[in-house]
Each structure stands twice: as C-alpha cells, then as structure tokens.
Amino acid sequence: MPETLAHVEIPKRALFKAAEVCDLVKVQPYVLRSWEAEFPQLGVAKSAGAPRVYRRVDVEQVLRIKHLLLVEGLTLAGARRKLEEVSAPVAPDEPAIDELIGRNARERLTAVKQGLRSILDLLSGNGAGDEFHLAPSHRGKASAKKTAGKNGSARHTPARRK
C-alpha cells in the first residue's frame, strides 16, 4: 500500500469536492461514484442539489480502495471484506484480551457467578439458612436488619445512622 499512499500528498483541509478527490487519486468521476455506491461510508451525506463532498479520511479510504483494486488485484467485494477486516475489533480469543483483563479472569468470573447464584437462591427462598449477614463494611459500623416484605419474603434494609 505504500506505493499509492506515499506518492499522494493530501492537502490539509477538512472537505474536498468530488473533482478534487478525482484529481488527487487519479480516477474518473464515474469510478469514484461507483465506489461510493459500493462503500456507503464514503463521503459526507449529500443533500439535493448540493455537490458531493469528501472528508480527509474519505480521501485516504479512496486511496486504500484504489490500492486494493489495482495493486493487489482484489474485486470490489474483496476490497470491502479486506477493509472490514482491518476496521473490525480484535477477536475475543486473542491473547491481548488476556493481558487486559488479567490471567485469573476465569477464576474471578466463577466467583462472581457463584455469588450471584447464592443471592438468587436467597431471594427465591431456596437458601440453606434463614440468616443473612453482610460482610463487615469498611465505612463504619453499618449493620443490616431483616424485615418482612408485603408478600412474606425477606427484605434487607440498612440500619439508620444516628
């Protein structure tokens, strides 16, 4: 890709007319319009009667498309797939994900899952015991008391501070 991108100097502007893009990329206007139809993300939305305009990133994308088609010999469908692969997020089974979330992520997720199941059992009345104890809080001596709800299920409310 360096052959196509290195030889084209894109002016430092926000928007370009279609004719300017054609001059920069060295393609005919009908080619640019056909690529726009194949790659809908190209170009700024056009209103009736207004000229088509392109952002700088669109011009870079047109250069990539031209390279994929003419240098690498891909079809339009192949170029679309290649560009989607490049912009797609990293697959979940990549080792980089393990580095981001930590090596012991599976154990932590299992512990969270067990905790959630115990809460579900407690709320559904399938718990082993009637007692419910909160773990000691680091914020002070907050305690919890058990009260009965309207339907007879246990509801836990924190004690009020004085």
For the segment 17-46, the average pLDDT, to the nearest whole number, is 87
pTM: 0.50
Give the whole-angstrom CA distance, residue 78 versus residue 27.
19
Q: Where are the alpha helices (DSSP H) in 18-139?
A: 18-25, 29-38, 56-66, 76-87, 95-101, 105-124
Averaged confidence pLDDT in the chain: 75
DSSP 28: -
SS (H, E, C) 44-58: CCCCCCCCCEEEHHH
The tens digit of pLDDT for each residue in 98-126 reads: 666 666 777 788 888 888 888 888 888 76
| Band of pLDDT at residue 141, cut at 50, 70 and 90 | very low
pLDDT at 52: 81
Q: Which domains does the chain have, with CATH numbers?
A: 2-87 (1.10.1660.10)
pLDDT at 68: 92
Cα-flanking dihedrals φ and ψ of residue 68, to 5°? -60, -40
